[in-house]
Amino acid sequence: MAKITHAPIKELVLHDVIAVDKQDMLRGRVTPAGTMPLYWCSGVLFSFSSFPMNDQVIKEHLDGTLHWMEVQFTMEPEYVPIIQLNEEEYKAQLNVRVIDTSSVELHRELIKWIKENYKK
């Protein structure tokens, strides 16, 4: 029987945190291959980008430290699974999927930190 070990992240290092307009955030999720999902947790809609994997990033990750290059967020009180974007550039209505990550402890802690550190 295989042994299963859970090793949660001990530290999340945020290198850039940016409050953005919801429409700008939605536009940023449009790629030539389609739309990338956003995340929602505790009243905040957000996205993040990770560093490319290299030996140092992998070592730190295995040691429990996760680095995110950038976190973009906007307040969104209610969770909705799909947000529509009417994009003139594409002359289309695009659907951006939203994943509810309220059950993810790391995301709950991130959102708590954002709310405490980015008050209007």
- Domain assignments of the chain as residue spans, ordered by start: 11-117
pLDDT at residue 120 greater than cutoff 60: no
Percent of the chain topping pLDDT 90: 77
Q: What are the Cα distances from residue 6, in Å, to 10, 43, 62, 87?
A: 12, 28, 12, 42
The predicted structure's pLDDT at residue 92: 72
Mean pLDDT, the chain, rounded, equals 92
Average pLDDT over residues 81-91: 79
0.85 surpassed by pTM = yes
pLDDT at residue 71 greater than cutoff 80: yes
pLDDT at residue 118 greater than cutoff 90: no
